[in-house]
Structure 1
Amino acid sequence: MHKTHLDTSFIGHPKPLFSLASTELWERFSFYGIRSLLVLFMIATINDGGLELDRQSASAIVGIFAGTLYLATLPGGYLADNWLGQKNATLIGALLIALGHLSIALSVFSPFMFFLGLIFIVLGTGLFKTCSSVMVGLLYKQKDERKDSGFTIFYMGINIGAFIAPLICGLVAKEYGWHLGLGIGGIGMLISLMIFYFKTIPDFKEFEEKIGIDSTWAKPTQSKKHIAIYTFIALGLLSVFVLLCGIGIIQLSAVSISKNMIVIISIVALLYFGYLFFFAGLTPNERKNLIVFLILFITATFFWSAFEQQPTSFNLFAQDYTDRIIFGWEIPAAWFQSVNSLFIITIAPIMSTIWIALSKRNKEISSIAKFNLGIIFAAISFAIMMFASYFVLNNGGTQVSPWWLIVSYLFLAIGELALSPIGLSLMTSIAPKIIRGQVMGLWFISLSLGNVVAGLIGGGVEADKLESLPSLFGNAVYVLLTLAIILFLLKIPLKKMLKTNLEK
């Protein structure tokens, strides 16, 4: 196959982008299927097959699960860089996620299996998540104008999985019970594993042979001794801790864990950033890139703390305060979790086309400006939810039209498309080669922090606390708009720093 064709065979993008997007699609199906049901399952009564937890604890557990999931990307990226390589880390991660789904499906016999399954999914995603994004970045040269567009297409693949998962898993849960709804995502993970093994790996081998790319997709950047030993020791200690929790020797409070995690993750992330800045053997220009990274990291953390209200406060709002009856049939509340992804799928090609068209006319919007647009649109989304809350409050708890949620999701989707794929693209551009996986892992820590904060806040949507609804959503509006102003003031110096460092 001709070199040029390999580099443009997928709608003008490198051939492996299609198989990578397909792999990520089904992995995201598994995640979003669980994500859409978690809080609803945990607050459901025992008689209805749930865990009958209070809303604050259930929401906090959702935040802890998603937060530790992204937190695991840091050691996952480290293991990929220094031991496993991107390919092996992805394969092992996929197997662990599939095992997690099996455990959750078996949790009908014991709640302990449910929490054990969440742990397997956290460990597997920690390996899987960073590698797929890094491999997309490897397909493009440093100054390739297609890169932002490529990540947007990759992001659209993610959202196809995120769209169909709540619909299928939500319907299965409604008709056949929570455990089947939560466990069916494992099928998606097995599909993801097969696509990666039989399609993505051969595509990358062919691309490497004929085009020439960084070989770290198949082997680690550097190999360090004793990593395997330390990894198995850590897994052993984790197993003992889980066992002690399972038999009741250690008692845990989800809300307390959330509060402590916010402090601990923030401190650890800053310390790790400091370690990379001073002791990773970086050049002065690479250190400047890390400064840009830190500013975007802080901004993204606040964005995700608002955005990740979807599986908690948005989900609970859909269940309690949204009229879901159509032609006499009640729509599962989990189905609203697909709305954001539906908008991503339909809007992503449009935004990708806009970015390319502006670039060709030398009117390209900077990555920093796109990033800031994402924050502004998220603020608009929460403003809509704030007004919807006022309507509920002023009408004595009357359920509102689903259009409030749908329009809110529209603006949230535009914000996500402006910020998230651009953030991924920026990270793969500015991350120093020798610590690429670790920087990508550190980037996902912003998602970790955001999810934990979102989980801590999201349980505030309760039928007997109507008066708190407007402020719950309104506070997000004020914080996001403040961040947008700050980033706007920093836009010019950040653009200069990025341009100077990427040209050298």
Structure 2
Amino acid sequence: MSDKNKAFFGHPIGLSTLFASELWERFSYYGMRALLVLFLTATFASGGFEMAELDAFTIYGIFTGLVYVTPIIGGMLADKVLGQRKSIYIGGLTMAIGQLLLASSAWLHGADVDVELRKTLFFSGLGILIAGNGFFKPNISTMVGELYDNNDPRKDGGFTIFYMGINIGAFLSPLVAGKLGEQVAWQYGFLSAGVGMILGTVWFFVRSHTLGHIGMPPKVKAERVRLIIKDWISILIYVVGLVGLIFGVIVGWGVLPSAVSKTIIYVVAIGGTLYLLSSIFKGTSGKTEWSRVGVILILALFNVFFWSGFEQAGTTFNIFARDNTQRMVGNWEIPATWFQSINAFYIVAFAPLFSILWVKLDRVKLNPSTPQKFGLGMTFLALGFVIMAIAFSKSTSGEEVRLVSPLWLGMVYMFHTWGELSLSPIGLSMVTKLSPPKLVSTMMGIWMGSWAAGNFVASQMKAISIRLQDLLGMEIQVFWLIAIQSAIIAAILFLMAPMLKRMMHGIK
């Protein structure tokens, strides 16, 4: 039986290729993400940079935010110039280089090396990861959508299975990279993340024949299903150009006057926004298409609030696991990074159940609409933060810290996982259904831009709670703040759901 005629859990065989490629890419990303705040706040002697907690949170937020901004550019380039397949190779190879630079910045700590050089390598590595992710992330998700027709009832299930691949990688990476980085040496954690990225790119190459014509460059004839030498040369040029550009920006940025650097940021932001709006305007026609684009933009705004809560996993939850959680089992200490595998474990456990649930509900005409599923997601998020707020209160009494059971974090992650499964894979599927045909990758980039905003806001939530506390003269616990915010957003979504459903014009 040929690959073309095989199925993957009742889905197109090409899903298996994208599933495994994304698994290894997420192994790479979540491995370094689990280490990032802990590495930045670690002592110079251990290889870290001894940063203050809130400064580390800000760097984490800028990084995790920008990895979802660059997909806007990567999506547009794929739509207009490269195609998804070339973009994925560019992104994979570039991100592997970025991870190796992070490893080198930690490796050199014991040598007679200037700290500024280490920081240059580190921030260049982050920048290169950001750039590479912009090419990889939106386009592999877009290719999943292209495996199905818009009203294929398997489509949401396909994205949920794809989401399992993401979370198998996210489960394994803190166990491997977290253990190596936290308890052996930071460089080995980052190095393992780089190896994961290389494996994902190699798998995509070996199994690309299962994708047929999907993802090929624009205007390429339908019978062509493989890249040619000219394509590979352009991939190499992009990779070298991106690495050189990021190094140049990191080195040059520090010597620019503050006024000049701020002007550049404003010009790029305004110019990029105008170009994006222009692309949407040119690629959208008719009342129905505009209405559907409107749904994407409205739900993207609500998506920011979801991720501003959910992404506490890498900041406040990470610190809570390190400082407030009982992690000793006999004489063995559980690495704090391992708690970031809990969410991914729950995803793998519950994703098949949610995938089956949506199909069964659809058969009896009780399947919630996409906006209602978003409301469910925000509700679960709010409940998780109520539990987290109670756990934090139990662990702090005046100046004393009392270590609490790890089961508290386990419960929080369970509710947050249910919220994620109700919202995130559904959002990815929605974008591929509602986007105008010429703008699928561009709209996927915009969707991931809402993740970017959510990630950055997440990094600032503790600082916001501190400012509110100073302003109001009363204690504001960050976890209660997010719980209340999430509950309000959930209520708004349920109220708006009927209107948003009408704006989708028949797309489920």
TM-score interval (norm. to shorter): 0.7 to 0.9
- C-alpha distance after superposition, 1:127-154 (max 9, x if no partner): 0001110000000011100000100000
State which of 332, 337, 345 in structure 2 corresponds to 1:334: 337
Q: CA deviation at 1:449?
A: 0.4
1:382 is matched with which residue: 381, 385, 402?
385
Provide the secondary structure at the position in 1 that maps to 2:396: helix
Alignment of 1:444-463 (within 5 A): 444-458=448-462
Structure 1 residue 361 displacement after superposition = 2.4
SS at match of 2:12: coil
- Residue 154 of structure 1 corresponds to which residue in structure 2? 162
Partner of 1:16: 14
Match for residue 179 of structure 2? 171
**Offset of residue 456 of structure 1:** 2.1
Name which of 476, 479, 484 aligns with 1:473: 479
Amino acid at match of 2:177: C
Q: Which sits farther off after the overlay, 22-31 or 96-105?
A: 96-105
Deviations 1:72-118 (A, max 9, x none): 00001011111111000001110001111111111122232111111
Find the partner of 2:362 among 353, 359, 364: 359
Question: Shift of the alpha carbon at 1:391?
Answer: 1.3
Gaps of 5+ in 1: 209-214
Change (3 A) 1:234 1:176: closer
1:51-450 residue pairs with structure 2 within 5 A? 51-107=49-105, 108-109=107-108, 110-199=118-207, 201-205=208-212, 208=213, 215=214, 217-220=215-218, 238-245=246-253, 248-250=254-256, 274-394=277-397, 396-450=400-454
Q: Is the 8 A contact 2:465 2:477 kept in 1?
A: no
Q: Deviations over 1:406-449 (max 9, x none)?
A: 10000001100110000000000001111111100000001100
CA shift for structure 1 position 157 = 0.6
Change in Cα spacing, 1:21 to 1:416, as seen in structure 2 (3 Å) is same
Q: Offset of 1:479 from its aligned partner?
A: 1.1
Query: Residues 221 and 434 of structure 1 are in contact (CA less than 8 Å); yes or no, is this contact kept in structure 2?
Result: no
C-alpha contact (below 8 Å) 2:76/2:441 kept by paired residues: yes
Distance 1:264 1:288, change over 3 A: farther
The Cα of 1:174 is off from its aligned counterpart by 3.1
Once the two structures are overlaid, the 10-residue window that deviates more, 134-143 or 234-243, is 234-243
**Aligned in 2, Cα 1:249/1:276: closer, same or farther, shift over 3 Å?**
closer
Change (3 A) 1:449 1:267: farther
Aligned residue in 2 for 1:499: 505
User: Amino acid of the residue matched to residue 427 of structure 1?
Assistant: V
TM-superposition CA deviations, 1:203-223 (whole Å, max 9, x none): 012xx5xxxxxx5x111379x
2:21 aligned counterpart, secondary structure: helix
- Whether contact under 8 Å (1:81, 1:221) holds in the other structure is no
Deviation of residue 315 (structure 1)? Answer: 0.2
TM-score, L = length of structure 2: 0.87
Preserved contact between residue 145 and residue 155 of structure 2 (Cα < 8 Å):
yes
> For residues 460 and 281 of structure 1, what CA distance do their matches in structure 2 show?
38
Is the CA contact 1:90–1:131 (under 8 Å) kept in the aligned structure 2?
yes
- Measured against aligned partners, the alpha-carbon deviations of 1:27-68 in whole angstroms (never above 9, x if no partner) come to 000000000010000001111221101111111101111111
2:20 partner SS: helix
- Mapped to 2, the partners of 1:491 and 1:7 lie a distance apart of 39
Deviation of 1:469 (Å): 8.5
Q: Is 1:313–1:461's contact at 8 Å kept on the other side of the alignment?
A: no
State the Cα distance separating 1:460 from its structure 2 match: 8.4
The 2-side partners of 1:418 and 1:87 are apart by 29
Q: Mean alpha-carbon deviation: is it higher for 106-115 or for 182-191?
A: 106-115
Question: Which runs of 5 or more residues in structure 2 are unaligned?
Answer: 109-117, 221-233
Give the superposition deviation at 1:274. Answer: 4.1
**1:294 positional shift:** 1.3
How far, CA to CA, are the matches of 1:402 and 1:460 in structure 2? Answer: 27
Would the alpha carbon gap of residues 233 and 112 (structure 1) be closer, same or farther in structure 2, given more than 3 Å must change?
Answer: closer
Tell whether 2:496 aligns with 1:490. Answer: yes
Partner secondary structure for residue 499 of structure 2:
helix
SS in 2 for 1:46: coil
- Aligned pair in 2 of structure 1 residues 170, 468: CA closer, same or farther (>3 Å)? farther
How far 1:233 sits from its partner (Å)? 9.0
Distance in 1 (CA, whole Å) between partners of 2:240 and 2:406 is 49
Provide the alpha-carbon RMSD of the alignment. Answer: 3.1
Could you say what secondary structure the match of 1:499 adopts?
coil
**458 and 177 in structure 1: CA distance in 2 versus 1, 3 angstrom threshold:** farther
Once the 2 structures are TM-superposed, how far is the Cα of residue 240 of structure 1 from its aligned partner?
A: 3.1
The CA distance in 1 between the partners of 2:452 and 2:406, in whole Å, is: 29
User: Displacement of 1:497 after TM fit?
Assistant: 1.8
Amino acid at match of 2:121: M
The structural deviation recorded for 1:369 is: 1.3
Aligned position for 1:212 = none
Q: Give the Cα separation in 1 of the matches to 2:321 and 2:309.
A: 17
- 8 A contact 2:71–2:445 mirrored in 1: yes
* Contact 1:386 1:470 (8 Å CA) reproduced: no
Q: TM-score with structure 1 length normalisation?
A: 0.87
**CA distance in structure 2 between the partners assigned to 1:8 and 1:264 by the alignment:** 50
Letter in 2 for 1:340: N
Residues 21 and 50 of structure 1, relative CA distance in 2, 3 Å threshold: same
| Structure 2 contact 27–169 (Cα < 8 Å) conserved | yes
Shift in Å, 1:171? 1.1
Identity of aligned residues (%): 39
- Equivalent pairs, count: 476
Q: Which amino acid aligns with 1:483?
A: I
Alignment partners' CA distance in 1, 2:412 and 2:441: 34
